[in-house]
Chains A and B, each alone.
Chain A
Amino acid sequence: MLNQDRLSQLKDLMAERGWDLLLLYGHSWRKDFFRCLINVNFSGPHALAAVDRSGEVRAVMSDAWDAEVVAACPASANFPHGLGELASRRGSVAIAGVEMMETRFVRPFSNPVSATLAVEEIRRVKTPREMELMRKAARLADRGYQQFAKTIAAGMKEYELVAEVEAFLKSNGAEDNFMLIASGGTEVTGMKPPTERRFQWGDSVTTELTPQVDGYWAQICRTLVLGEPSAQQRESFAIFSEAQKAAEDFLRPGVNISDLARVQNDVFRKYGYGEYTGPKYTRVRGHGLGLHCDENPYVLEDVNYTVKEGMTLIAHPNTYLPLSGYMAFGDSLVVTANGCASLNQTERKLFEK
């Protein structure tokens, strides 16, 4: 429950920055800062972990049931009171996640500084235990996609398929899952939550599955065609496959994340589809993974960040192409000493059923 490796890192950070008290805030959508130290899946909506310079940890929870679950350290169930008690302490205060805190929760503290970027940086390189959980989540993502491909059928509604996949993932140990989907042809420009649309023969069905296991999220992106893929769908997939491979071939410690985006986009440019790599048609060419399903750094050509060994991220050149509409393809990756390795084992192909 209490990540001792992380506690040691945070104590070092506090000493280096001269912080007397470090707070790690989480709410129901973004539990990651809290869970990077106290890995409790709280119900919410708020939770705060506090570390002082001696390394003493305490938790402040907004729900009485959550407070009862935190056994690794003293925990308060009265959020405003607990905050007040921490604010009354003397010394400098830094808060990771301060940007997402309700303003009324920040006000009791005198001149708090943001620890968000510094703690994010520590979190990027995973500990051996964190890697175990990332691998477990990636295996579950693989199995979830198998279930997706097995269950989908023409005539089924998008939300019914999502219900089946969700049930499978939860039955097999996922705490949560972030999932988007789209189906259709060249009119499809992006993924979104499921609708009542019924799958039809010839549809290109895209999804990203992101199960969470013990706090850690891994993702897989794939596209499936119902029936025999058209020449355009195959041509489109070949471009995505080449772009994703370019990312994997390129990724290693020391490279810049902007170049990881560029090598993917260059493949689209080579085939005359450079305009589809911009924000009008796509969001990012990948992103970090860990205790949040969409961590920094975002894989974009204008993001400057040097990749480190032990980072986990997904490279996904997902975008719209006029050939076959929106397409998704990507694997979760871990940066190794000499390159990278995929955490997923699902076949890299355009699925068809």
Chain B
Amino acid sequence: MKRGWITWDQEELPRAAFDARLAAVGDHLAERDLPALVVYTDIWKSNHARHFSNFMPYWNRALLLIARQAKPVLLCGLSPRVYPWIRSVTILEEILPSPDLAKRLVELCSEKGWKRIGVLDLAGLPYDLNQAISSAPVEAVDLSLPLVPDEWELGMYRHAAKMAREGLMEELAGGVGLVDHEFTGLLERKFRRAGAEDLVVLLTNGKTVPLPARGEILGERFSVALALEYRGHWVKVVQNPVGHASGLPSGASTEVLSGPYPYESGNGALVSARWETLRDGVRLFFGDTYWRTAAGIELV
């Protein structure tokens, strides 16, 4: 869960980045003759709302409403007591308390006179929300957008990947002989102090796939899979102290990082790849974060 430092550094990710992304949505809505787009977000499925507004909910769920030629509005299940904080870490100015998200959305559509609205990945909405919106007197139109990471976003991913890759490399050798819980704690301290919002650590001594820590002492050929979120941008790195990956093998399995979830089996513009080799009966795991371009695939 996100309990690291959630912030927005405008030198790192300028408002112009969000303006450009929102303008592209506006163009898309105009092409479809739709007045607004609804983007769902919750603790874990937060990539899309973060992309458009830098909002990363630490709790509860919300709807980001992006209307053509208007500032985005957040329909939020969180208490108004935390709205000043939300405004301080996002581009958002207008936040509407919405204990019942669908009801508030329908009210808003009625106030604006909207009969149809776009919903980003309508079938991906939680079932209760989908049912409530679909039965409302507003036509919900499924929209999919080509959410290809832009240069600003790639910059954030590169920072996150560098942090994860180099930080893990620094700690790997020291992990041998530690209980896996201790090594996990060591990574938590290091990366959260460096500004990570969240991390998920899986480890193995090579008899199983990497798993959450379970009280094993780490041997010389342990592998660790680290998923790290830096200011809303998730990357994955898999390393072991035995050897470095010599390139991405063709049989590597991939997870998409540029979809709605932090990571999910599949392919996309930004992926994490993972693979394993067997050495003297021990499974060694490798992996990293990659950016797929027209020219091929490159390390982020």
Q: Residues of A at under 8 Å CB distance from B?
A: 27-29, 41, 43-45, 62-65, 68-69, 79, 98-104, 106-107, 157-160, 162-164, 166-173, 175-180, 189-190, 192-196, 279-281, 283, 320
Contacts and interface: CB of A to CB of B under 8 A. Distances in A.
28 contacts: A29-B1, A43-B200, A44-B261, A45-B44, A64-B209, A64-B265, A99-B126, A101-B126, A102-B124, A102-B126, A102-B127, A103-B124, A103-B126, A103-B130, A104-B123, A157-B5, A162-B4, A163-B189, A167-B188, A171-B182, A171-B188, A173-B181, A177-B3, A179-B3, A190-B79, A192-B82, A193-B4, A195-B85
Contact of A43 (B125, B184, B202): B202
A169 B189 CA distance: 11
B107 interface: no
A104 B124 contact: yes
A187 to B, nearest CB: 10
Nearest to A178: B1
Contacts of A167: 185-186, 188-189, 192
Contacts of A172: 181, 185
A103 to B, nearest CB: 4
Contact of A320 (B2, B81, B200, B253): B81
Interface string B168-202: 00000000000001101110110011010000111
A308 B285 CA distance: 48
Given A68-B208, A193-B58, A171 B184 contact: yes
Given A102-B125, A103-B130, A192-B82, A173 B7 contact: no
Per DSSP, are chain A's interface residues mostly helix, strand or loop, or mixed? mixed
Interface in B245-269: 253, 255, 261-265
Given A166-B189, A167-B186, A195-B7, A62 B264 contact: yes
Contact of B44 (A27, A104, A176, A189): A27
B125 A170 contact: no
Contacts of A283: 79
Contacts of B255: 63
Nearest to A212: B1
Interface of B: 1-7, 42-45, 58, 79-82, 85, 122-128, 130-131, 181-182, 184-186, 188-189, 192-193, 195, 200-202, 208-213, 215, 253, 255, 261-265
A62 B261 CA distance: 12
Nearest to A160: B193
Nearest to A190: B81
Nearest to A210: B1
Nearest to B274: A65
Given A69-B211, A103-B124, A173-B215, 4 more contacts: A41-B212, A101-B127, A159-B193, A192-B58
Contacts of A190: 79, 81-82
Contacts of B42: 29
Nearest to B130: A103
A171 B192 CA distance: 14
A176 B1 contact: yes
A78 to B, nearest CB: 9
A103 B122 contact: yes
7 cross-chain pairs, A with B, having the tightest CB-CB distances, nearest first? A171-B185, A163-B192, A167-B189, A159-B5, A190-B81, A99-B128, A104-B123
Contact of A163 (B124, B193, B209, B253): B193
A178 B215 CA distance: 21
Contact of B3 (A41, A68, A162, A189): A162
Contacts of B215: 173
A65 B122 contact: no
Contact of A194 (B4, B184, B262): B4
Given A172-B181, A195-B5, A100 B79 contact: no
A327 B81 CA distance: 14
